Structure 1
Amino acid sequence: MDGVASRVSASAIYESLKEMILSFEIYPGSRITESDLAAFFGVSRTPVREALQRLAQEGQVSIRTKQGCFVRQISISELAQFYRVRTAIECLSLEIAARSMAKEALWALAREWDPAHCSGAATDLSLMVQKEESFHMALARGGGNHALATYLNDINERIRVIRRLDFTAGFRIERTYEEHHRIVCLLLEGDLAAAKTLMTDHILQSEKFARSVTLEQLARTENGAARSAMR
C-alpha cells in the first residue's frame, strides 16, 4: 500500500514540478532541494527524489553531486541550434513521406488538421503541444524511417520548454492548423518543394514567436524576483 501511495505521489509531484518549470514559476537555474519540496508538497523526501530523478532524465533539472538539484538554464542560442536541426529533420521526413507514406494516412492527417476543426482545438497548452508534435511525428514515422523519428523525438524533448509558449496566442493555433493542413495537401498534390518551403517557414515562425514570449517570461520572472528581494 505504501509503495502504491509513493508512486502516485511521485507522479503527481513530477507533473506539478514540470508545470512549474515550464511556466517559469520556478526560475531557470534555481536550486531546489528535496527537503524544501517535501515540505511544500507535504510528503516524505522519497517521492520527491523519484520525481526529480524523472525530471533529470528528461533534462528539465540537473542533479549535481554535493551541490544539489538545479532547474535547467534556458540558452536561446542553444535552442536556435536545435531548431535548425529540427528543420533539417522535418524536411527530410517530408522527402521520405512523399515517396513512401500511404495516401490514406496523408488524407487522415489532412482531415485531422482541417482549419474548420480549429474552433474545437485544445486550449490546454500541454495538450496542444502534444497534438502538434504528433503531426510532425506522424510524418517522420510515415515514411518508415524509425531512426528519423527517434532523432525528431529527441529534439522535441529539448525544445518543449519553449515550444508550448507558441500557443499562448489564439492566432498561433489557427495558423498551425492552416499550415499543417496545407503541408499535407501539398504532399498529396505532389509539390514536395512547396511543402518543404512551407515547413521551413512554419518552424521558423514558431521559433520566433516562442523565443519572443520566452524572453518576456524570463524578464517578467526576473523582475518579480528582484522586487520580492527588495521587500
Structure 2
Amino acid sequence: MKQTAEQTTVKPVATKYVYDALKEKILSFEIYPGSRVTESELADLFMVSRTPVREALLRLENEGFLTIRPKQGCFIKPINIEELGEYYGVRTALEVAAVEGACHYMPESELQHLLHLWSPDQALVEHSADQMEDKDESFHIALALGSGNSTLVRYLQDVNDHIRIIRRVDFQDEERIKRTYAEHHAIIEAILGREVDKARNLMKRHIQRSQDFAKTLTLTQLAKKKAGVSRFEQVKAL
C-alpha cells in the first residue's frame, strides 16, 4: 500500500517532536540521570506511536544522551562529576594548544569577524541556553580550526560530546552569559595581538570558570530533582 504525501511527512515531524521534547527533559534533568524509560511510556507521554519514539531514542543514543538495552529499556546517561572533571582537564589542554596555534596561524580577517560576534554589546541580545551553547561551541571550534591542526579539532569535538550536558547549564544565568562574552572578547584581542602567553592564560581561566560554574549549578539542580518527585512521576508529569 502506497503512503500518501501527508503520511510520509507525519513520521519525520513526529520523530523530531519526540526528539526535541525528550532531549529538553534530559538536559533540564526533568528525567533524572540514570533513570530507565521505555518506548511505551514515552509513546503514551507524547501521544504518538512507538516508531517515532524509537527513532528519536536511537538518535539520542548516537549523541551520547542515553543507552538502549534490548528487552530492558532505555537508560539516561548518569552524570559522573569526577569523569566530567577529567574531560575538562583534557579540554583545557586542547583549548590552550588551539589558542597557541591561532596566535601563529589564524588570519586577522577571521579574528576580526569573531571579535564582532563576541562584542560585549551582543550579550544584551536575548539568548536561549541552546543558542548560547551552540555559539560558544562554535567559537572554540573556530579557534581550533584557526590553529591549522585538524587532529586537535577532532579531539575537541569528541570532548565536547562528552561534556555537552553540563555545558548547557553554564548558560542559564544572565551574568554568566555576559561574562562569557567579555572573556571571549579578551581572548580574541590577545590572539589578534599575537600575545601567546596572555591568550593561553586567559583561556585557562575561562575554561576553569566555566567548569566551576557548571559543576556547581549541575549539582544544585540534581539535588533539587532528587529531592522532588520520583523518576516515573517526573516522566508522567512532562
The two structures share one fold, judged by TM-score above 0.5: yes
Match of 2:100 among 95, 109, 118: 95
Shift of 1:170: 1.2
Structure 2 residues not aligned, in runs of 5+: 234-238
Residues 63, 161 of structure 2: 8 Å contact kept: yes
Shift of 1:96: 1.2
* Secondary structure at the counterpart of residue 165 of structure 1: helix
Q: Does 1:29 align with 2:34?
A: yes
The equivalent residue for 2:149 is 145
Q: Does 1:197 align with 2:201?
A: yes
Letter in 1 for 2:127: T
Whole-angstrom distance in 1 between the partners of 2:40 and 2:122: 46
The equivalent residue for 2:236 is none
Question: Once structures 1 and 2 are overlaid, which stretch shifts more, 72-81 or 184-193?
Answer: 184-193
The equivalent residue for 2:120 is 115
Shift of 1:146: 2.0
CA RMSD in angstroms comes to 1.6
Whole-angstrom distance in 2 between the partners of 1:116 and 1:155: 30
Residues 39, 53 of structure 2: 8 Å contact kept: yes
Shift of 1:85: 0.6
The one of the two structures with greater contact order (alpha-carbon pairs below 8 A, sep at least 6) is 2
Match of 2:8 among 3, 7, 23: 3
Q: In the TM superposition, what are the counterparts of 1:153-192 in structure 2 within 5 Å? A: 153-192=157-196
Match of 1:56 among 48, 53, 61: 61
Structure 1 residues not aligned, in runs of 5+: none
Q: After the TM superposition, which segments of 4 or more aligned residues of structure 1 sit over 3 Å from their partners?
A: none
* Secondary structure at the counterpart of residue 25 of structure 1: coil
How many corresponding residue pairs? 228
Shift of 1:167: 1.6
Whole-angstrom distance in 2 between the partners of 1:147 and 1:99: 17
Q: Deviations over 1:27-47 (max 9, x none)?
A: 001100000111111111010
Q: Deviations over 1:196-228 (max 9, x none)?
A: 1110110001110110010011100000026x9
TM-score by length of 1: 0.94
Whole-angstrom distance in 2 between the partners of 1:75 and 1:3: 40
